[in-house]
Structure 1
Amino acid sequence: MIEAIDFRNAMSLLTTAVNVVTTEGASGVHGFTASAVCSVTDTPPTLLVCMNQASRSHVHFIENRILSVNVLGAQHEQISNAFASKLSSEERFKNGSWTTLETGAPVLADALVSFDCEIEQIQEVGTHTIFICRTVAIRQSYPQHSLVYFNRAYHYVGEVEIA
């Protein structure tokens, strides 16, 4: 049997994009830092987002049924740390400039790309909830270095082409 610590150590070597996932609705405005985000299909455009059920904002995502995935650039380490911290939701959103697209979920103005989504399916697996999300709007910014997480530390990847 694989021990949880061995699995976590192995997963730390899987390089992942750093995202801030947000929601807003009747249940309020909330967000968290996530690395467990991926594409499911492009027809219809669908993302998968995993969230720890122990997160204090977990219930709010379920109640609001919308979310925005904001892919962070190299300049967003502070935002990533704020949304991964014990700060209140209000304090977290003081970091960065926020706007909205279709659903009303907060979108980081200078994110590399933001996916605005409606949560279509919710599946509980172990300690986490998987949200299957239909993308209803996308906004991209200018290419820049991406913030990634590898071996329990931030790194930057990407080349900026000069026209």
Structure 2
Amino acid sequence: MEMPVHGFQTVDSLDFRRGMSRLGAAVNIVTTKAADGPYGFTASAVCSVSDTPAMLLACLNRTSSCFPAFEKAQYFGVNTLSSGHEALSNLFGGKTAMAERFAGGQWREGCSGSPLLADALVHFECELVQSLDLGTHRVLFGRVIGLATGDCEDALFYVARRYATLSTREA
């Protein structure tokens, strides 16, 4: 992708990462099932795209060990974590083997085969409708084909390089 020519400098990547660390976001585990088993990674780059049709996006670094599985995936799950899931987030955010990642937590298979976290704050099951490579990442656009909410009402957030919780209870 060619970038537009203009007189502005782009910001330094380290400065950008420092700035983005102040942008709090919900913590998610994005999952899929490949022929050789389940794959998943921790992501905070997840957001709504549209409500008609219901659609969301998730971003995946193309150097990730999960990338080949997601590159071939037709379906994926987005599992939004609740308070108490910090260890699970760290497990899926590191270099841990896939089998060990899925040994943590209680997982079930969705209608598409994507692994869904039983006690997630909410999980979305998605059909991939488009993907786009930009910079270091692939953006996955998914049409939501199913969702379920959990009993916990405290969302897990990541901000300033640490976890925080936020209640989703209505006042």
TM range (shorter): over 0.9
One-letter identity of the residue aligned with 2:52 = T
TM-score under structure 1 length normalisation = 0.95
Structure 2 alignment gaps of length 5 or more: 1-8
Aligned residues of 1:102 and 1:136 also touching (Cα < 8 A): no
Shift of residue 28 of structure 1?
2.9
- 1:7 aligned to 5, 16, 19, which one? 16
3-state secondary structure, aligned to 1:74: coil
Structure 1 alignment gaps of length 5 or more: none
1:52-67 alignment runs, 5 A limit: 52-67=61-76
Shift of residue 160 of structure 1?
4.1
1:78-117 alignment runs, 5 A limit: 78-117=87-126
- Distance in 1 (CA, whole Å) between partners of 2:59 and 2:104 is 23
One-letter identity of the residue aligned with 1:100 = E
Shift of residue 103 of structure 1?
1.0
Q: How many pairs align?
A: 162
3-state secondary structure, aligned to 1:93: helix
Answer yes or no: is 1:141 the counterpart of 2:150: yes
Post-superposition Cα deviations, 1:90-121, rounded to whole Å, max 9, x if no partner, equal 00000000012221100000000000001110
TM-score under structure 2 length normalisation = 0.91
Shift of residue 125 of structure 1?
0.2
- Structure 1 runs of 4+ aligned residues shifted over 2 Å read 25-28, 159-162
Question: Measured at CA, do residues 46 and 159 of structure 1 come closer, stay the same or move farther in structure 2, by a change above 3 Å?
Answer: closer
Identity over aligned pairs, percent: 42
